[in-house]
A and B are shown apart, each in its own frame.
Chain A
Amino acid sequence: MKRAGFAVTWLPMLLLLPQLSIIAVFFYWPAAHAVHSSFFLQDPFGFGSTFVGLDNYTDLLGNAQYMKVAGFTVVFTLLVTFFSLAIALLLAVKADTVLRGAKTYRTLLMWVYAVAPPVAGVIGILMFDQSHGPLTEFFNSLGWEFKLGVNYNDTAFAMVVVSVWKQIPVNFIFLLSGLQSIPKSVREAALIDNRSASGRFWDVTFPLLAPTGFFLLIMNITYSLFDTFGVIDTVVKGEPGNNPMSLVYKVYVDGFRGNDLGGSSAQSVVLMVLVLALTIFQFRLVERRIHYT
């Protein structure tokens, strides 16, 4: 709050009212509802529900399919986060070094940010199309019979590729502005001390980028968990069947298709706890963040 603020009380309340009421109706109410119904077993046709306590949760833990989905989610998140960060870092470092055409490269590399995940999924389907996708043909020529939507691993591979492709621009933008905010004096000093470019990168640039990196790490994990919904839904064409899916997608599938309201709610609550943990972790990191400027 500013020292020289206004002393009226009715106005700030009025100003906060729309924001807070929307939060209450569309955030807290549904969240409370999810927690509540996670303790009940609901009749799929809407004829009442029975209190089952923690059964929905214990069912999840004992459910092999849920564990498989959880396992896939972990692997998927690790792969997407690693590759999208690594490729974006390489590109950002190069874009920061070149003097000619830097702006053109930036434009070419960032536009995919604006592509909606399901549209990215559609582009992926075309590239990996069974009969005439260019990437499928390429893999076939290498002796890898790529079967999107049929082979579990192949489908997972396509999901990872599309998700990484979609996420590179975001990481690129953040890493590039992180690199460009490193003071010139620091770079010049490093240039005198260390002749090798890679040595300079790992000893000076990389640690200076670490705060941005931590932030992006959390952001990428969140992206892989939640925002890839559109990618997964289009790649599996709404027919999960035996295809890989993420935890978030399973909440949707069980709740909307399977009408397993209690189970879906329990899954929602598990995810909420996961997000909570991630947020706390993020704030711990931000608190400890070292400021170099």
Chain B
Amino acid sequence: MTDTLTAQSAATHVRHRKIKWNTVFDHLVLIAGSLMMIVPLVLVFLTASLPDTEIIKEGLQFKLGDQLGPNFQKAMFESSGFTNENTGMVMLKNSMILGVGFAVGKIVLGMMAAYALVYFRLKFATFAFWIIFTTLLLPLEVRILPSYEVIQGLGLMNTYTGLIVPLIASATATFFFRQFFRSVPEELVEAARIDGAGPVKFFVDILVPLSQTMIAAMFIIMFVFGWNQYLWPTMITTDEGMFTLVRGIKQIVQDFEGSNIPEYGRANLLAIIAVLPPVAIVVFFQSWFVKGLTESDK
């Protein structure tokens, strides 16, 4: 890289300058873009470290205070709301259950359905495929009220089942695994059958291990998706002990409006905690994540 640059710069001086300025400009654009994405979160983080009274007096500031520990203590272990069940820890636990349950459920159901669609001679396969496909037409936001009524009718309000199960059936995971199974060479099934493996054994011993990377990519995307759910938890959890962190954001906002001194530090810290797990997963597993995202949605 450096060699070609010096070679080019040796060739013509004028060209050297032009190339360099273009690169500088490219970097400036990217730095500006990165700052635009990063600065808001840094500000939230810094605000979480300042005493609430100082924020009220001085506003948001670019400096690190000494209240990070106490604010963390307050956010995670001190309860808020009407009951004593709404601590950061409880919400973190609920978010984890929702994120993991959602991801695992989607992957298991999606793989099962995709396996059935790809590897069996089934008369109504096309019909089943279309039924699954039409769910794309019915995003949750469109059927809010009746879905709520169904959950209420089934007595699933304020339960993990009610939180997770209605969300886990969807087309995306099924399509994704269907696409992947189709790319698996046919010789594998033939070989497995010659060796006397039944459909269950083939699925468990060959197909699942083969799908490992795909499962990992799906898990990351679906975990983030589940963790970030807002509307559904908002509707079906009224019990504060069942709130997820993202659902708890509603409370955080109301804290800003409180009649007492708004607890900025505590609220901002909760926002940071709500952001950290999914962001950490996306950043650490970004190659899997990008692969899964770009391949699943196209």
Contact = CB atoms under 8 A, between A and B. Distances in A.
A137 B119 CA distance: 62
B146 A31 contact: yes
Nearest to B57: A132
Contacts, number: 300
Interface stretch (A8-16, A48-56, A57-65): A8-16
Contact of A237 (B150, B253, B282, B290): B253
Given A8-B120, A126-B44, A237-B257, A94 B29 contact: yes
B109 A109 contact: no
A285 B30 CA distance: 32
Interface in A7-36: 7-9, 11-13, 15-16, 18-20, 22-23, 25-27, 29-31, 33-34
Nearest to A252: B144
B131 interface: yes
Contacts of A33: 146, 149-150
B297 interface: yes
A118 B249 contact: yes
Interface residues of B, number: 97
A256 interface: yes
A131 B227 contact: no
A61 to B, nearest CB: 19
B21 to A, nearest CB: 12
A134 B109 contact: no
Contact of A125 (B26, B136, B253): B253
A150 interface: no
Given A23-B131, A30-B143, A272-B142, A107 B283 contact: yes
B294 A215 contact: no
Q: Which of A8, A87, A115, A233 has the most CB of B within 10 A?
A: A115
Contacts of A153: none
Interface in B243-261: 246, 249-250, 252-254, 256-257
A156 B38 CA distance: 23
B119 A22 contact: no
Contacts of B131: 20, 23
B286 A106 contact: yes
A26 B166 contact: yes
Interface string A227-238: 001100110011
B27 to A, nearest CB: 6
Nearest to B25: A94
B36 interface: yes
Interface string B59-71: 1100000000000
Nearest to B182: A2
B246 A119 contact: yes
Say which size band chain A's interface belongs to.
35 or more
Interface in B165-222: 165-166, 168-169, 174, 182, 186, 189-190, 193, 198-200, 202
Nearest to B234: A233
A207 to B, nearest CB: 18
A15 B113 CA distance: 6
B190 A4 contact: yes
Contact of B169 (A27, A222, A264): A27
A208 interface: no
Nearest to B167: A26
Contact of B230 (A18, A114, A117, A129): A117
A133 B37 contact: no
B104 interface: no
Given A118-B249, A226-B141, A125 B44 contact: no
Given A87-B33, A127-B40, A279-B136, A114 B117 contact: no
Interface in A61-104: 87, 90-91, 94-95, 97-99, 101
15 contacts: A1-B118, A1-B125, A4-B186, A13-B122, A16-B113, A19-B110, A22-B169, A26-B150, A26-B169, A108-B34, A110-B282, A122-B249, A122-B267, A248-B142, A251-B141
Enumerate the 6 nearest inter-chain pairs by beta-carbon distance, A residue then B residue, closest first: A132-B59, A30-B146, A22-B169, A116-B228, A12-B116, A114-B278
Given A6-B120, A126-B43, A275-B142, 5 more contacts: A33-B149, A114-B275, A116-B249, A117-B228, A197-B22
